């Protein structure tokens, strides 16, 4: 027959085991609830997700920031689209370490927060079409050594192109649109040996500059559109989308 002392120890042990089971169950339920919260928040008006790996948010910072904070906790998102947000979201985006593709399509993104993306060492594709990014922002982006595709819309000059050429030697696809980039940048573009596809739409690179690019880089798939006359060489450049 079990003594009172031993029986007391058994009861204490049983209570401890029960408490542990409750704690583990609570943790699991909490994590499930957080996943559900993310899905519910994303599926509210202003954003949707077919899979947590791909998230599209289409409203302002007040709606995007709480969603982004929940995604940081999950660390499963590989593709992110932001529309209508500002640079204030970018410090949180910079914490999504699993990101491989980002679209930042907003006139409220001017590039001051792009330095927050430098730690994203898995990022392969960055699309800034529709944003207002200038040379300092592009020079910050050029520190993301994993980048293979980059699309830029307006704001940059020859200085920004020089940053890309100097710091992103492995870039394969580059689109520059509506930018004050001149023939001065031709040499930098020629020097980008890994570049396979180059789209220049509405820049200040001349027809002579285009011919220089074509002759010196016959391996390059080149799309070219003059700013002044809208004359086109080859064909109109389609948007650069991430490779499968």
Q: Lowest mean pLDDT: which of 17-21, 122-126, 201-205?
A: 17-21
What confidence tens digit (pLDDT) does each residue in 94-147 have? 999 999 999 999 888 888 899 999 999 999 999 999 998 999 999 999 999 999
Whether the CB-CB separation of 81 and 101 falls below 8 Å is answered with: no
Kindly tell me if the per-residue pLDDT of 39 is higher than 70: no
Q: Which domains does the chain have, with CATH numbers?
A: 49-233 (3.80.10.10)
Whether the CB-CB separation of 16 and 8 falls below 8 Å is answered with: no
Give the chain's mean pLDDT: 79
Query: Shortest CA distance to 220 belongs to which of 158, 174, 156?
Result: 174
Give the largest Cα separation in the chain, rounded.
Answer: 102
Whether the CB-CB separation of 139 and 115 falls below 8 Å is answered with: no
What confidence tens digit (pLDDT) does each residue in 50-79 have? 457 888 887 777 778 888 888 887 788 899
pLDDT over 90, % of the chain:
52
pLDDT score recorded for residue 168: 95
Give the model's confidence band at 228: pLDDT under 50 very low, under 70 low, under 90 confident, else very high.
low
Instruction: Check: pTM over 0.85? Answer yes or no.
Output: no
172 versus 84: the higher-pLDDT residue is 172
Residues 6+ apart with CB under 8 A from 165: 188, 189, 191, 192
pLDDT over 70, % of the chain:
72
- Rounded Cα gap, residues 138 and 219, in angstroms: 26
Kindly tell me if the per-residue pLDDT of 18 is higher than 60: no
pLDDT score recorded for residue 58: 75
């Amino acid at each position: 027959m079990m003594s009172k002392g031993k029986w007391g120890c058994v009861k204490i042990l049983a209570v401890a085991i029960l408490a542990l089971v409750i704690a583990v169950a609570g943790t699991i339920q909490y994590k499930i609830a957080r996943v559900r919260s993310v899905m519910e928040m994303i599926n509210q008006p202003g954003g949707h997700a077919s899979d947590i790996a791909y998230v599209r948010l289409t409203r302002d910072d007040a709606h995007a920031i709480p969603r982004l904070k929940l995604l940081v906790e999950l660390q499963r998102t590989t593709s992110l689209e932001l529309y209508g947000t500002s640079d204030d979201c970018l410090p949180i985006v910079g914490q999504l370490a699993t990101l491989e593709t980002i679209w930042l399509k907003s006139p409220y993104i001017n590039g001051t927060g792009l330095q927050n993306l430098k730690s994203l060492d898995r990022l392969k594709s960055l699309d800034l079409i529709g944003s207002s990014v200038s040379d300092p922002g592009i020079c910050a982006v050029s520190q993301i050594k994993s980048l293979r595709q980059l699309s830029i819309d307006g704001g940059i000059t020859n200085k920004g192109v020089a940053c890309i050429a100097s710091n992103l030697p492995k870039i394969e696809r580059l689109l520059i649109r509506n930018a004050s980039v001149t023939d001065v940048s031709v040499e930098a573009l020629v020097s980008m040996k890994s570049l396979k596809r180059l789209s220049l739409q509405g820049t200040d690179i001349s027809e002579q500059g285009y011919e220089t690019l074509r002759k010196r880089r016959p391996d390059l798939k080149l799309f070219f559109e003059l700013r002044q006359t809208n004359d086109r060489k080859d064909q109109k450049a389609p948007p650069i989308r991430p490779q499968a």
